[in-house]
Structure 1
Amino acid sequence: MAQKKNPNKKVVSKTKKKRKDADLSTYPIQGLKQLLHSQNYLDCAKIVSPTDAVADGTVRLFVFAKPDPKKFRKIVERWPKWQIEKSINSNEVWITGAGPDGPETICQSWLSLCEDSEHYSQLTPSSFGLSRDLVGQWLLQQPDAPIYVEFIEAASEFIYGGLVGLGVASYRYLKAAQGQMMSSLYVSSSPKKLRVTDLDKARQLSSATNFCRHLVNAPANILNPKSYTQILKSYFQRAKNFKVEIWEEPQLKKENAGLLLAVGQGAATPPALVRLSYRPAGSKKKPIAFVGKGITFDTGGLDIKPSSGMRIMKKDMGGSAALAGLAYWVAEAQPKRPCDFYFSLAENAVSAYSMRPGDVIQSRNGITVEIDNTDAEGRLVLADALDVASRQKEKPSAIIDVATLTGAIKMGLGSEIPGLFCNSDSLSEKLLLSWQEKGELLWRMPLFHQHKRKLQSFVANTANSASGFGGAIRAAVFLEQFVDNSIPWAHFDIYAWADSPSGAIAEVGASGQAVQGLVGFLEK
């Protein structure tokens, strides 16, 4: 990372204190070691033809992308007579029968679409997303037995989504952390034939999603800025065409990264900024810079959260975890586009050293910030990282940040739909299309610059927050101050969590939100 000389003196506490790191050896399920190995059904998948014999007791799923009466009848005619009569003219999405070798299910996928789904084009399920969620949902209900899945009359994207659904649905946090193996999986399609490359492509994307989820699910006494840095270094220093650079506390002080330092100064584990650089051979394109908020636990600081609001705040590094998943996919797929990934890592803790409301902190780009609320810390750690990304000698073609930034966006859009703020219509359109095609919900929000007036401070250039409506917009216009205005920039305000099982997500916990949409963006 390019080092910046700033003549302005930073306003950061210089108090020395003892730091005590977590004893990782006592963690009963060895979570850190297993974080590098995402559980995935596709790792043990075997491609077969519809006529091949499979193991006795295999549970079968036949996924119809569109009607095929001849194939449908051929399947159900093997079932008991009473089930044939019930199924032959059924308008149900799921039809279950007793096959000669075990239980069988037919999925009529098109029947799951809402009648008015065409009205909301941006939120309409794509063939990829529809197949992913239906196949994943089915897998969640199956016993621990060999599985056979056949895609019928399906285009490539439908098959791709269904295979990703199998991979995503196979993840369970405890099983993955304990390294448990999966049962046998057989996959097929007709008339289109599956290829090994189809399976590899789906495995890469689902493993990237599960890698993100596993990081978010890891408890905060295990995943802190130091151990998170170790994980990123351990994996990506071995990855092809990747380079790892780490700024720990001493380097952050040299770089005048006052905002990141201020957020992390109350915690036992110091903050860090990690950069992963991916440069594929022969590419002459400018890199895309991705910046992630990595607050490994958020108490709210001295403006402390209530207990109910703090309960799942290990997920406050979900934006950075989405980028870890994206980088995982890049390492596997080796796309032609150069990328930089910035992980701004800190814990927002309560101690005698915590930043206070009313403190004035100087950012890396020289802007002074009055702390209106210590619980608006995510935008602070992002701000210094956005400045680093903006000032690189190899200027990025775009900067995209991802963060679990505000509760306000959830109040407006719900937990399932992230907000997109963007200073470029062209970049916004590409991102919206990529997310829709990958079955990720997304809605563009306004960068309403009049909200910047509400961040006025009488002792600094800006405040980090203000009371009143429009909190997600104010957070976005705050961040925009730290991005070179000549660079296209997008900001994703995400939730990163599933409050209940849904689609291919088997359990309450990390959802992997943003990984698949951003992969779709890089695939183009």
Structure 2
Amino acid sequence: MPTSLVEVDVVRQWRDGVPGAVAVFDGESGPDLAAAAEPFDVDIAVLQAVGASSSAGDVRALPLPSGGVGWVVGVGSGEPVKWRSAGAALARALRARLDQAAESDDEVGDLGDASDADYLQIRLPDDVDGEAVSALTLGLALGGYRFRVTVKPTPPRLRKVLLVAPEGADVAALGEQVRRTRELAAATALARDLANAPSNIKDPAWFTGVAAELAADVPDLTAVVRDEKWLADNGFGGILAVGGGSSRPPRLLELTYRPKDVEGPHLVLIGKGITFDTGGISIKPAEGMHLMRTDMSGGAAVIGALLTIARLELPVRVTGLVPSAENHVSGSAYRPGDIVRHYGGTTTEVGNTDAEGRMVLADALAYAVDRLEPDLLVDVATLTGAMKVALGLRTGGLFATDGELADRVREAGQRVGEAWWRMPLLEDHAEDVKGRLADVKQTPPGPGGITAALFLREFTGGLPWAHLDIAGPARADKDYAEVVSGGTGFAARSLVALAASFSN
């Protein structure tokens, strides 16, 4: 960890002996097979025989007259989203071919010379632009991702892709676009690694410790991990309550990125870091509980984003907070009916110990307001099943007190291929959050995603704030586009793009 990503370079010339791929576009009366056949010096009939099409992500292998294999992949009419699907599909196809060769003990198979078996070159069209190159790079980098803990040797993988630019293209500019996109992909891949890691290893100390170790190698980025004694001394009652049922105590990670000579807004990102969630005394059903190893996906997105923001040297001040705990069942677990005092003194009446995410986020939000002097707050969490019902598994829920911030988040997601839908903060339910025995209720009645957001708003100090509920898109049960089954790393790229929007 982190998972190695394919290298991508932009070059000027097509290279003999390296497996190549060409895009198939929509033509006037069907797929333009003639343009795709020309670089391989084969007849259109060969493409027709293998079923080549312009459908985005449709990959076909071609037997070549010179031996070896070429690839054609559909990109439809060439929008960036189609290129992202095409890149991911190519990465998966090459991985499958390499796996097949390894399993048959045939190191070369029909991939060409052994030294090039893990290489691919892709011919870019004459009208290619930076958006298309970024989308293709993102798909190539993430589409072939996999995470396995196994005794078997590391499987072969696609190591390098050469994007062959058309004549007259600005190779340096396209190369910089590729470099920045690979950093975005690295944020997503690390978030996936952390989410997929099994919880017998991934306790709060390990989770926050790995982040701190990675941050130590990045200029202008510092990490501090606070332990349970510090949390108790400073009144973090929400984190301590949630973590109290586990033998593995909670932690608070603080990542600070302070580039030199930079003014402007201070953005604080807060991610839920529940390394495993049994539901506590309000225990979850056994079916599907194993997926709760990914309940720290919001924290993973914040960690991946901070590392990438710093590596890209974005001229903006950003702090990341990840309150991390394991929500377990034991004699020391917190109970429904308890009253918990958060950082800063606000008290919460506990209604359901499975609503633990808002408990730890409340502490972190209150701490940020009191100690970090933020200009904007953004939290991200796998918070409510209600958002999965409302928006499904591919779109994140966006709540915000500030219209401009909401627009920035949504536009940031559009730039990096992550979809957000703004949800209402209905004032009709604001009074429901007020407590009878305490200041606020943890689980007020009403629409679950909205009332959870209204609960968190109580701890934001009136600052511009956005709440990102990723309960749906943080996990996937099948591959699509650049997403693979398991932890998806959703939101990491959006957070980087959001920070970049304040650096212009």
Please confirm whether the aligned pair reaches a TM-score higher than 0.5, indicating the same fold: yes
Is the contact made by 1:286 and 1:395 (CA closer than 8 Å) also made in structure 2? no
Distance in 1 of aligned mates of 2:351 and 2:176: 52
Matches within 5 A, 1:131-146: 131-142=83-94, 143-144=97-98, 145=117, 146=119
Q: Choose the corresponding residue for 1:154, options 128, 132, 136.
A: 128
- Structure 2 equivalent of residue 323 of structure 1: 302
Is the contact made by 1:365 and 1:482 (CA closer than 8 Å) also made in structure 2? no
- Structure 1 equivalent of residue 450 of structure 2: 473
**1:205 is aligned to 2:171:** no
Aligned residue pairs, count? 466
Is the contact made by 1:402 and 1:492 (CA closer than 8 Å) also made in structure 2? yes
- Structure 2 equivalent of residue 122 of structure 1: none
- Structure 1 equivalent of residue 166 of structure 2: 190
Distance in 2 of aligned mates of 1:104 and 1:131: 18
Relative to structure 1, the CA distance from residue 70 to residue 228 in structure 2 (aligned partners, 3 Å threshold; closer, same or farther) is closer
- Structure 1 equivalent of residue 281 of structure 2: 302
Matches within 5 A, 1:46-65: 46-55=9-18, 58=19, 60-63=20-23
Q: Choose the corresponding residue for 2:5, options 34, 37, 40.
A: 40
Aligned AA (2:160): L
TM-score of the two chains, using structure 2 as the length reference: 0.86
| 3-state SS, counterpart of residue 311 of structure 1 | helix
Is the contact made by 1:359 and 1:370 (CA closer than 8 Å) also made in structure 2? yes
Is the contact made by 1:128 and 1:438 (CA closer than 8 Å) also made in structure 2? no
Aligned AA (2:299): S
Aligned AA (1:133): S
**1:483 is aligned to 2:460:** yes
- Structure 1 equivalent of residue 35 of structure 2: 72
Matches within 5 A, 1:15-414: 35=1, 37-42=2-7, 45-55=8-18, 58=19, 60-63=20-23, 72=35, 75=38, 78-80=41-43, 82-83=45-46, 92-93=55-56, 94=58, 96=60, 97-100=62-65, 101-111=67-77, 127-142=79-94, 143-144=97-98, 145=117, 146-152=119-125, 153-174=127-148, 182-187=157-162, 188-191=164-167, 192-195=169-172, 196-392=175-371, 395-414=373-392
TM-score of the two chains, using structure 1 as the length reference: 0.83
Larger mean CA deviation between 216-225 and 283-292 belongs to 283-292
Distance in 2 of aligned mates of 1:165 and 1:86: 27
Distance in 2 of aligned mates of 1:95 and 1:164: 17
Aligned AA (1:107): V
| 3-state SS, counterpart of residue 174 of structure 1 | coil
Aligned AA (2:3): S
Relative to structure 1, the CA distance from residue 91 to residue 62 in structure 2 (aligned partners, 3 Å threshold; closer, same or farther) is closer
Relative to structure 1, the CA distance from residue 162 to residue 175 in structure 2 (aligned partners, 3 Å threshold; closer, same or farther) is farther
Is the contact made by 2:90 and 2:140 (CA closer than 8 Å) also made in structure 1? no
Is the contact made by 2:239 and 2:325 (CA closer than 8 Å) also made in structure 1? yes
Is the contact made by 1:247 and 1:274 (CA closer than 8 Å) also made in structure 2? yes
Distance in 2 of aligned mates of 1:65 and 1:340: 44
- Structure 1 equivalent of residue 479 of structure 2: 501
Unaligned runs of 5+ in 1: 1-34, 113-126
Q: 1:351 deviation in Å?
A: 0.4
Q: 1:431 deviation in Å?
A: 1.1
Aligned AA (2:456): L
Aligned AA (2:452): A
- Structure 2 equivalent of residue 511 of structure 1: 488
| 3-state SS, counterpart of residue 274 of structure 2 | strand
The C-alpha deviation readout for 1:211-247, integer Å capped at 9, x for no partner, is 1100000000101101112112211123200122222
Distance in 2 of aligned mates of 1:230 and 1:84: 52
Q: 1:346 deviation in Å?
A: 0.3
- Structure 2 equivalent of residue 123 of structure 1: none
| 3-state SS, counterpart of residue 232 of structure 1 | helix
Q: Identity of counterpart residues, as a percentage?
A: 29
| 3-state SS, counterpart of residue 391 of structure 1 | helix
Relative to structure 1, the CA distance from residue 364 to residue 73 in structure 2 (aligned partners, 3 Å threshold; closer, same or farther) is closer
Distance in 1 of aligned mates of 2:73 and 2:363: 49
Unaligned runs of 5+ in 2: 99-116
User: 1 or 2 for the larger relative contact order (CA 8 Å, sep ≥6)?
Assistant: 1
Distance in 2 of aligned mates of 1:66 and 1:324: 40
